[in-house]
Amino acid sequence: PRKLARNRIITNSNQLFETDIKYGYIAGEDRFFFIQSCLDVYDRSVVAYHIGLWCEAKDVIQTLQTALFKRQLFEAQTKPVIRSDNGPQFISHGFEAACENFGVSMNAFLHEHRI
């Protein structure tokens, strides 16, 4: 099921990460590329990202894992909430299982409120 975001008061880094996928066009190749970023909402820094010709659930899982690793959050008591736009990669069974495995909870925002 799709999840809706609830408002949160963010007081420090590593409390809320936003993730989204954007794409661009490669004119000479006549194809698209994808950029998926994981941002820390507190300071708006890009914690981790994926750039590629595809962006599947396995790619967003890897980006989240990298973000948690970079911020040394795998052993932390409190993990960030992950907020997304409910795109197919973010509502996949694989991403949900990875979030459970990593100990993070998911939250979603509506398309009108994209990053």
* Domain presence at residue 1: no
Please say if the pLDDT value at position 1 is more than 70: no
User: How does pLDDT run across 4-45, given as a tens digit for each residue?
Assistant: 556 778 899 999 999 999 999 999 999 999 999 999 999 999
* Domain presence at residue 3: no
Q: Can you give the CATH number for the domain in which 57 is found?
A: 3.30.420.10
Residue 35's domain comprises: 16-113
Please give the Cα distance from 102 to 61 (Å, whole number). Answer: 10
Q: Residue 36 in contact with residue 19, Cβ under 8 Å? A: yes
* Domain presence at residue 7: no
User: How does pLDDT run across 42-91, given as a tens digit for each residue?
Assistant: 999 999 999 999 999 999 999 999 999 999 999 999 999 999 998 999 99
What tokens were used for 38? Answer: 């994981």
* Count of the separate structural domains present in the chain: 1
Q: Residue 90 in contact with residue 106, Cβ under 8 Å? A: yes
All residues at 6 or more sequence positions from 106 whose CB lies less than 8 Å from its CB, including other chains: 3, 81, 82, 83, 84, 90, 95, 96, 99
Q: What average pLDDT score do residues 81-108 get?
A: 92
